Structure 1
Amino acid sequence: MPDQYEQVPDTEVLQDRADRPVVRVGGTVHRPVQPWTPAVHALLNHLAAVGFPYSPRVLDVLPAAGTGSPATEVVTYLAGESGPAGWAKVVDEQGLRAAARLLRDYHQAVADWSPAQPPAWSGGRTGTGGPGELVCHNDFGPWNIVWNDVTPVGLLDWEYAGPGPVMQDVAYALEYVAPFRDDEECVRWLRYPGPPDRRRRLEIFAAEYGLSDTTGLANEVIAIQRAGLDFVRQLAEEGHERQVELVAAGHLTEIADRIRWSEDHRHLFD
């Protein structure tokens, strides 16, 4: 835990990473400010203004605690179940449908956002996108949804937000909720009672999101997987601590194996 929180009551470490510790202090969440934090705050303030109820609200930016340390953002804490608990929520078809509606509602809330000052995002892009694009969440998975039973009550971790095609978020989500994983992983790690009906689950998510056609969705997911591999490699080469650790731990090989599985089992989704 960062030193400044050692004696603070009602404090809980939510993410224990040296580069980006996240700490709950009462009903608030504190994390280090990053270069893209102003863009994320602009997005969150827009979502608050249009009444999107699932995003944290920006409360403050505290000055750096000492020389060489970053400033700290303060946002509201969203109570509920998240993280690893989220996987079981989307096994239930009710939770699967609810997740798709949450993504749809977010996209509707952000579709017309056009701030006067173009935001600068973590991926290097600026603005809110060109034709057919909007500001994607870019990490929309069961672990980043806050749940009350199988009902979403919040959406977390906006640090990877940035402009992209609408299908970028949809395909990213489908990798994890269809899911594009082998039977053993589905049963052992993802809380499925048996091999999932992936085609049915893809169709359910697509329909609840509002898609009238599922043609090509498997290809979209595989493209997102490939882009994810390239992104991790790029960030590691640039020296970002988290990605350097992931590459050293063999994460690129793991992603490549998943891509091969998706390519070899496309028939389960088409």
Structure 2
Amino acid sequence: MEKLSGGRDGIYRTRSHVIRPANQTSQTIHSLLSHLHRQGFHQCPKPIALDHEHETVSFAEGQVYNYPLQGNVASKQALTSAANLLRQMHDASASFVEGLRGDENWLLPIRKPAEVICHGDFAPYNLVLNGEEAVSVIDFDTAHPAPRVWDLAYAIYCWAPFKTHEFDKMGTLDDQIARAGMFCKAYGATQGMLSNLPDVMIERLQALVSFMREEAEKGNAAFQQNLEDGHHLAYEKDIQYISQNKQMFLTELTK
């Protein structure tokens, strides 16, 4: 068995399967993944087995990258193919939302209007590439019902990327806005989405910081460590960066 890095501890690969620790959301996520496959969206893990301790899903072949974005993952093709995957995933999930009973378990709060199932962390490290082509989405732990723009805003924040940390940032503000525009075009964002995008991006990051603090207060050791390491401070700086450049972002994006 091969231990896989990233995400939660205790994740292993055995041949074409991935074995991960199960949690309170696993049953809901497996139902979602099964639905996506039934809708023809096969670019995500396929559920294999689930018990009270472990879940098993299919392994996605390809390359996974992290920050700083360099090489294939920094390409325009990776950017636009990722946006295409997000749109396809959202479209396939819409009918899942229509069938929700209300007893599903989600890690993140449901946000209204619940148009689709948002991935919740559609960042470069959660996509699998074949060369410069994004071919699969992985790690649906943070999936939850929400508006399309809620997921789109965070995805663009991660892919532009509108980040200020020395390790995470890439390119100039003009470069980042241009990449955001390419992502939006490939996704097929409406004018309404574009006009609210910077504000939703800021709101999404504020919600993330609040969630980190809440989990830390509950005794979640991982989030306690994140706060000790100052991860929330990086997000707060990014919020300031987006706020300061919001008008320029809007002007270019809504031309």
**Shorter-normalised TM range:** 0.7 to 0.9
Conserved 8 A contact 1:30-1:75: yes
The aligned counterpart of 2:32 is 43
User: How many pairs are equivalent?
Assistant: 245
The aligned counterpart of 2:220 is 240
Helix, strand or coil at the partner of 1:48: helix
- Say which of 196, 199, 202 aligns to 1:219: 199
- Say which of 160, 172, 178 aligns to 1:200: 178
User: What are the within-5 Å matches in structure 2 for residues 109-128 of structure 1?
Assistant: 109-113=92-96, 114-115=98-99, 117-118=101-102, 119-123=104-108, 125=110
Tell me the distance in 2 between the aligned counterparts of 1:202 and 1:109.
Answer: 23
**How many angstroms does 1:130 deviate by?**
5.5
- Say which of 92, 95, 101 aligns to 2:75: 92
In structure 2, relative to structure 1, the CA distance for the partners of 1:149 and 1:86 (3 Å cut) is farther
- Say which of 48, 59, 76 aligns to 1:77: 59
Helix, strand or coil at the partner of 1:40: helix
Tell me the distance in 1 between the aligned counterparts of 2:149 and 2:180.
Answer: 13
Answer yes or no: is 1:12 the counterpart of 2:2: yes
Residues 107-140 of structure 1: CA deviation (Å, up to 9, x unaligned)? 0101111346442111255xxx764522111010
**How many angstroms does 1:201 deviate by?**
1.6
- Say which of 126, 133, 149 aligns to 1:151: 133
Tell me the distance in 2 between the aligned counterparts of 1:203 and 1:244.
Answer: 35
- Say which of 139, 146, 164 aligns to 2:121: 139
Conserved 8 A contact 1:86-1:142: no
Tell me the distance in 1 between the aligned counterparts of 2:156 and 2:16.
Answer: 32
Q: Kindly indicate which of the two structures has a greater share of residues assigned to helix.
A: 2
Q: CA RMSD of the aligned region, Å?
A: 2.3
5+ residue gaps, structure 1, are 1-10, 63-69
TM-score by length of 1: 0.82
**How many angstroms does 1:255 deviate by?**
1.8
With 104-113 and 253-262 compared, the bigger mean Cα shift is at 253-262
5+ residue gaps, structure 2, are 251-255
Tell me the distance in 1 between the aligned counterparts of 2:218 and 2:187.
Answer: 36
Tell me the distance in 1 between the aligned counterparts of 2:67 and 2:135.
Answer: 14
With 232-241 and 252-261 compared, the bigger mean Cα shift is at 252-261
Conserved 8 A contact 2:216-2:224: yes
Tell me the distance in 2 between the aligned counterparts of 1:238 and 1:176.
Answer: 27
**How many angstroms does 1:72 deviate by?**
0.9
Q: Which amino acid aligns with 1:51?
A: G
Q: Which amino acid aligns with 2:135?
A: V
Q: Percent identity?
A: 28
Helix, strand or coil at the partner of 2:66: helix
Bigger Rg over Cα? 1
TM-score by length of 2: 0.87
Tell me the distance in 2 between the aligned counterparts of 1:133 and 1:74.
Answer: 28
